[in-house]
Amino acid sequence: MKLDRITIDAARMNGQPCIRGMRLTVRRVVELAAGYPNREELFQEYPELENEDIRQALLYAAACLEDSILAIPVNRETAA
């Protein structure tokens, strides 16, 4: 898995993984990808971002998650 756009520097953003050394964390990029379903709007707001930045941020986030099954509580009122 090639993640050459993800950078980690203890002196930048408290060592959080960032995109290409910018002050834009992987976490923020994942949030933006979820909040802007239209990528064109996202790129208008954040012109420094590129498609490959988003792809690698999502890959990085997925790699950091444990592969386990979580129990999701069922709301019995809405499940019926």
| pTM for the structure as a whole | 0.79
- Residues 25, 22: Cα–Cα separation, whole Å: 8
The mean of the pLDDT values for the chain is 91
**Residue 79: per-residue pLDDT:** 57
**Cα 30 to the center of its chain, rounded Å:** 2
Tokens linked to 58:
């999502």
Map out the domains of the chain with their CATH numbers. Answer: 6-79 (1.10.10.10)
Name the pLDDT band for 78 (thresholds 50, 70, 90). Answer: low
Tens digits of per-residue pLDDT, 54-65? 999 999 999 998
β-sheet bridge partners, residue 7: 18
- Residues 4, 13: Cα–Cα separation, whole Å: 18
